[in-house]
Amino acid sequence: MKFNTPQTLKQIATLLNVEFVGSEDFPITGINEIHVVESGDIVFVDHPKYYDKALNSAATVILINKKIECPEGKALLISEDPFRDFNKITKYFNPFIAATASISESAQIGEDTIIQPNVFIGNNVTIGKNCLIHPNVSIYDNCSIGENVTIHANTVLGSDAFYYKNRAEGFDKLISGGGVVIENNVDLGASCTIDRGVTGDTTIKEGTKIDNQVHIGHDTVIGKKCLIAAQTGIAGCTVLEDEVTLWGQVGVISGITIEKGTVVMAQTGVTKTLKKNIYYGTPPVEYRQKLRETIYLKNITNNQKK
């Protein structure tokens, strides 16, 4: 998430009421999670296990809960609770704005796009030409939709990330400040749910077709010309490269990559990064190998019955 105008280290430290290490005019351009940070970003870290990863990331400001030696060319914000203060930054620079109409005045809708009754379109949404948005679709703030996109009834774009910190008093939610990007020629089935990014965008690239009742988690990137069948669930921060096919009821864990051209058969649980092949089962194995194992076990069972 980029700020509308660059901030200084002192300005952010003052906002959070925390100590800082570095030049007070050190420039800050935004905040991001560790997997999408860029130069100029703040990243937060609150566990020693991940200190090195954060300090050595592309982020140039680290919001951290311990005063340590600052890497050259970077700055620190010393916080008692980095998770809480990261949320404070998100709310300050990207506050929730309540809707005042079913279709926001700030929404931009392209020529020849059809919006069916009972559609909700939030603030700062852009929709391209020749789209068809069916009844009861909800498109939250800051979503971007390309041209020739079809979205079927009851689909939701831009719901919050499923991201919580377990505290003694209960689960504390990490506030989502990102968006959803749907590129040209994408079809979304009925009752799909696509979460927005925590700080970046959840992206579905050109030509991908998604069946009914599919869930896509925060900050996931779906490549070009993918096919995703009904009741598939994809966790956050996952990458599907181009031309990946996921058949019905596939489950995909977070933070992995599925290589271009891979096919995952129905009811497979994807628990690891996959190279191009055809997979089945949990954990996933090469499809023909799985068939051979099944036949072998069947033969053993039949022989024991004789």
Using CA atoms, how far residue 57 sits from 42, 43, 51, 79, in Å, is 10, 9, 10, 19
Q: Which residues are catalytic?
A: 218
In angstroms, the Cα distances linking 304 to 208, 292, 293, 294, 299 are 48, 19, 17, 16, 9
Q: Which helix (H) or strand (E) holds 167?
A: strand 164-167
How many Å is the Cα radius of gyration of the chain? 22
The rounded distance, in Å, linking the Cα atoms of 27 and 44 is 17
The torsion region of residue 169 among left (phi > 0), alpha (psi -120 to 50) and beta comes to alpha
